[in-house]
Structure 1
Amino acid sequence: MRLTNGSTGYIYAEYIRITGDVGTPSAPAEPTPAPSNPEAEQTAKTTEYVNFRTGPGTNYSSKGVISLGTTVTVTDTSNSQWYAVRLSNGSTGYIFAQYLKLTGNTSAPTATPAPSDPANEKTAKTTEYVNFRTGPGTNYSSKGVISLGTTVTVTDTSNSQWYAVRLANGSTGYIFAQYIKITSTPSATATPAPTPTPAPSDPSKEQTAKTTEYVNFRTGPGTNYSSKGVIPSGTAITVTDTSNSQWYAVRLADGSTGYIFAQYIKITSATATPAPTEAPADGTVRAKTTADVNLRKGAGTNYGVIRVVGNNTAVTVTEATNTWYKVKLSDGTEGYLYAQYVTVTSGDINSVKKEETTDPSTLTEAEQKAKAVLDTIGWDLRAAYNWSAHALPYYTLGPEVTGNSVHSEWYANFGFDNHKGNCYVMAATFQKMAKLLGYDAHLVEGYIRTYNGRGRHGWVEIDMNGTTYVFDPNFEYGGYGNGYQINYGMSGTFKYIDYARVD
């Protein structure tokens, strides 16, 4: 562009709004029709509210605005900035490629295999949830989403934007370089994978459990062991050995054995009948902490911390929910501990459970459905967020929306009943589960900045220890990165504007 003083340079287009033409306006030449090749067509979804133009550029007129989440058919990607697309009604035009997410194709492009040179391989970790693609570009199909913090081997960095990588299970592909952090360079001689020592088998000590995250199922107790696959959140497993406090030996329903990182396992019960625990004569429930944990003034992280209680501290449980235990310490101090970090040593925890946690009459219709989901996936905030972000395919609401009657209860019911929904549905289902978990959670309505203005959006705010955090399941669903417990204005996130809490 040229300034009034004659200086020329470049400005990011997102921050420019065209208000008129200089000189005599002239319509751009009619674009050359994009080549038609049905075998190369790909399906995609819009990731923003975006103009549908008559040609490949902002100098071409807009035929209308396409909503976020709309499914389109990409007919040509030869222009890397503007894709030729066809709408469901047969209309053809162009959309800015940055705002399209390819979801499938009939004939995916074939990537040239990256050169293999063990001497130059590097180990790395992913810094976001990121697509693992068949080739170096978003026009290549995704082989799946790789979790944040996953260790990978970078086999080629000649393309500065897309690194060729190999996963622990031997699968090869490409990951956007911005979401990879190189951690070390191995020696030219590859170190063979360690051989795991079989975990001892003792049926009397086996326990049933559930995974609380999407997690790797490994051949041995460590990330240096290969992955046998990813286990979905909420999967029922049998824990066969817990002698390694960080990696539990487990058995899947199909009989497969391996190891899972203990942090992502929630023990639900013992398979074998344990030796009876002697109940105190006074009927109290005694327990001990399993980690250093905050003793809070109330049942939720939004309550202040009284003090930190050390690991293996004996406490008396006086009241319990699925998520929080009200306890008394030996010095008489009372407060609340997160149930995940407390294990009962004597007495019956059900004897001090609050009646209202199981009484449906105290819950709204959506809260009852949220409780049913939490009972399945585990009473954990991250598990609830992952469910709303990954278990609800995007669906653009249409005639179902009924004006002023639409609020968090309506959106949450729609999501729980239909197992699909838009950003408001994803946010509302998570908000209902977060509130049941004891968090001060609110549904928020507002706007996000887009390259051509702004678009409506919904997300969740949770107040924790005096700080307001954003939880945006739709942001993560769209493949943009982490939307869990982020801050307003954080780099790499949406630009949230003109918003307010509605529930």
Structure 2
Amino acid sequence: MKKAMTLILALTLVLSIYVPTPIHSEATKVVITADSLKVRSGPGLSYPVVYGVKQNESYEVISKEGDWIKIKLSKNASGWIASWFAKEQSSSSTTSPAKPEVKADEKLISNADGLRIRKGPGTSFQVVGSVNKGDVLEYKEKSESWIKISFKQFEGWVHSDYLKGIPTEEKKQTPNTTVLKKGIVKATSLKVREKGSLSSAVIGSLENGDSVSIYGEQGSWYEIALNGSKRGWVHRDYITISKSEEQPKNDDKPATTTTAVVTASLLNVRDQNTLDGKVIDKVKKGDKLTVLYEQNNWSNVKLPNGKEGWVAGWYLEKTTSSTTPEEPKNSDTSTVTILYDTTNIRKGPSTSDSIVARANQGDTFTIIEKVNDWYKISLGNGKEGYVAGWIVSTTGSIGKVEKPGMNQYLDGKTIVIDPGHGGADSGAIGVKGNFEKTLTLRTAKLLDEKLRAAGAKTILTRSQDVYVSLSNRVSLSNYYQADAFLSLHYDSTVYPSVNGITTYYYDKSKDYKLAETLQSEMIKQTSFRNRGAKYANFQVLRQNKRPSVLLELGFLSNISEEAHVVTSTYQERVTTAIFNGLAQQFK
């Protein structure tokens, strides 16, 4: 009897170790964070692959074992995925309150003359145009102190200090009635959501083979008609576009063929009309492309090699041929508008040529011709001069000049941004009650905006208030072969007077140069106390095979420093410093 009881007890202990942990109701689903992910028959890399899943797809969780999650694929099928490539959705998890945003149905007005429009959310980005006091702008999106706007032929970012909102007339917005294209559902059962987001409410469903009319696009989502007039959103991965419907038709216009010449030194071709789109090819300055159609300042183009994709339309110089007589080339008058006071007008197209005149912000001149990166302009009274193309905005068909800045060194780089802590792990708590986990996520999202605008590929280890293990954070860096891994933190100590910024590294040969460059830039931009670049044996650095640093961006235990780091001004400065430091490192 004793032996039997001992055997039963031993079996019970073994089963308690190896039986997967059931998942309770507070965490019943996961969303895939990798571009594509293999599903295996068991909890480990040695098990065979049974299926494949894609980014942003959501699955019900059956159980967990170590770092592996068993998910439900269909009614009768399941499989295992690595937990570091998925994030949990929990009905009971608490998230930080959303920041107040400017509503998308509002207009904005400029409060300043010569307000500069920039390519990205920060002063380090190139000026692409300007607006004057009283100009009404269309709101696109918000990132801390920066607002993305559209104005005439310009689209870019302006600082919110120089804007005020103007509500549109209180009337129901008329939905778009133009069908952009048509498609067929390729999923067994496709959920239709109220908005283009996995967290949005489900308002209906479609079956495999159903035909849909597409009225709008937003990132990876299509706006479709459901039950006649009702509108909803479906994920584009589950819609096959009908080839005959890919281009909008307009039988009232003569048949035209639009070609365009690339004006940027190097231009990304993406699989969709957004900066979030995957880069599928690149074209260089002078390449000729066929423009198939345009949407939201993006152009769907055919490349010389036959590929099709999306490029930013503001980097194309277009020409159109049609059955109607072509207007004389000189009938299109192009102009430049000066963006800065006391801009030099020179005798020739070089900074070594003598200055013949000076112009002020807002002055406009007719362009005679473009000479390399300079414009030859008419000054009146028969006089002519040259102005640098990267310090003016232009109108007309003349090619735009892009002066490569520090952002050219970030284009194509893979950066893993790791907002420290999250979920039940709040990190440090400030004197005034600010959570470190909330601040690190805020900083990470602003940095992410800046890097993506420069063409970098960014991966956030978390994009919401959830817990991610240290090993999973490191795994992302190694899996994506990151060019840099940045773990963001805010410091704390029992001594309330301690302050400043510190950058930590582990491997001197791999990490120190990056740490030193970032530390130097952050001190320059913020004027905080320089605590230096120091060695530390942190897990996210020690186990990381890629260049990696951990940044402590200020002390929440210091009441004065806490009040400073939560401001938009500080967030702008510190993320600009990190952006510049990375660019210098890659340069």
TM score, norm. by length of structure 2? 0.28
Larger relative strand fraction? 2
TM score, norm. by length of structure 1? 0.31
